[in-house]
Amino acid sequence: MDTKIFQNIHTIAIIGLSPNQQKDSFKVANFLIQKGFEVIPIYPKEDIILGKKVFRSYTQAHNNHKIDCVVIFRKSEKCFEIAQEIITQTPLPKIVWLQLGITNIYAKKILEDKNIIFVENRCIKIELQKNGIS
């Protein structure tokens, strides 16, 4: 993977960021925070996760932050709906990242049609570590 996609990425919204410390979404978010990224939690419950204000939707988070990258920890079948929400908000994020085991060809199409870098079925933490950010 080309590490250049991480250039100028500062704020990462994580859709499906669980407050459960045993969940991968929590571990990945914690790693990203430790590496200096601003993490924006999006989750239907909780008010604070990892010391950060939790938003209920991408739109709500976008209205409060300039988001460079969106990392999705939701079931594959939910990703098209999420992608539709993402493309209604401007400015658009540079990257939409579906974690390991998550794919959606329809989300891929509409996001790439908007020139958003689309990554699926990969762990952002693992990719950053492979590229020397660990």
- Each residue of 87-103: pLDDT tens digit? 999 999 999 999 999 99
Question: What average pLDDT does the structure give for the chain?
Answer: 95
| Percentage of residues in the chain having pLDDT higher than 70 | 97
In terms of phi and psi (left: phi > 0; alpha: psi -120 to 50; beta: otherwise), the region of 82 is: alpha
The DSSP string of 52-92 is EE-BSSHHHHHHHS--SEEEE-S-GGGHHHHHHHHTTSSSP
Contact 104/134 with Cβ under 8 angstroms?
A: no
Contact 42/58 with Cβ under 8 angstroms?
A: yes
Residue 132: per-residue pLDDT: 76
Superfamily of domain 9-130: NAD(P)-binding Rossmann-like Domain (3.40.50.720)
**What is the distance between the alpha carbons of residues 23 and 34, in angstroms, rounded to a whole number?**
17
Tell me how far apart the 2 most distant CA atoms of the chain are, in Å: 36
